[in-house]
Amino acid sequence: MCSEEQSNKERALKHQYAEVNGIRLHYVSVGTGRLIIFLHGFPEFWYQWRNQLEEFGRDYHAVAPDMRGYNLSSKPAEVNQYEVKHLVEDVLALVYHLGYEKFFLVGHDWGGVVAWAFAISHPDLVEQLIVINAPHPRVFTRELRENPDQQKASRYILRFCSPEAEKILSSNKFAMLIDAVLTERLKNGYLTEKDLSAYLEAWSKPGALSGGLNYYRAAFMGPLNNGREQVAGNFAPYLSSHIINVPTLVIWGEKDEVLLTDNLKGLEGFVSDLTIKRIPEGSHWVIHEKPVLINAFIREFIEKKG
């Protein structure tokens, strides 16, 4: 076997499970070395990070879990089991399970929400933080209270918190989710029919759709509802501080229709060491659209800072 074939074999993805924080967490890992963990958002699963696992598995121990409620991980029935504090503890327990005390943390969407909260709670464990299209809790609170455009863009959260959400999103073979996440990227060649099948299989797992929606329900987060402030943007109210004291890279697809670029305004007031990379042509799903650029931004940041 030639050295390249041997190297590829050694970098084969490993599907594993960890009993952590009272649940069973499925995760995919590849490579050896310093640990880098990738946290997905809604309605994704570990598969969102397949390009990053391939890239960083070459010289890091790259790990992407199915977060609780998703795909092959445990799906607690109680909504309060999806509060951010529990999601943070899942990541903490996984890091210790893997045998590390320091790691690089990358998150998108809800994974980014958890990444913000983790870095606030455990700054001594995070070497560098990378957040992709996910708002800081204090900034998002401001935007939901003061920015009519963000309030309008966040109206979908009210639908996601409704009792009818599962029926709406799963109807016509998940047509709404397919249209929101996959259709445009399938059309442009960023995703394939194989990718579509993988997502449909993950969404079809019993309890998986409710698990993802319970993140919204547990956070009690969203825009004004009939003139009354139903919820706020602070998805981690249990934290006494919202200051980030680790080097942080924020990557933002500027065509994001649900999380507007105003979420970047004033961010430097909460992050002591902040780098922002904007991708003008990227949407909320920029990870699928620009994987090579995303990988380059992450690698440049962690190798320069690390």
- Cα 106 from Cα 249, distance rounded (Å): 9
Given 108, 136, 242, 284, the catalytic residue:
284
27: annotated active-site residue: no
Q: What residue spans of the chain are helical by DSSP H? A: 3-10, 50-56, 84-97, 110-121, 137-146, 148-153, 156-160, 165-177, 183-187, 193-203, 208-219, 286-289, 291-305
Given 90, 109, 215, 288, the catalytic residue:
109
Which conformational region is residue 256 in: left (phi greater than 0), alpha (psi within -120 to 50 degrees), or beta?
A: beta
Given 27, 70, 215, 216, the catalytic residue:
216
For residue 273, the Cα-to-chain-centroid distance in whole angstroms is 21
- What is the side-by-side order of every strand in the sheet holding 126-132? 14-20, 23-30, 61-65, 35-39, 103-108, 126-132, 248-253, 274-279
User: For residue 52, which of 290, 305, 274, 213 has the smallest C-alpha distance?
Assistant: 290
109: annotated active-site residue: yes
242: annotated active-site residue: no
Active site residues: 109, 216, 284
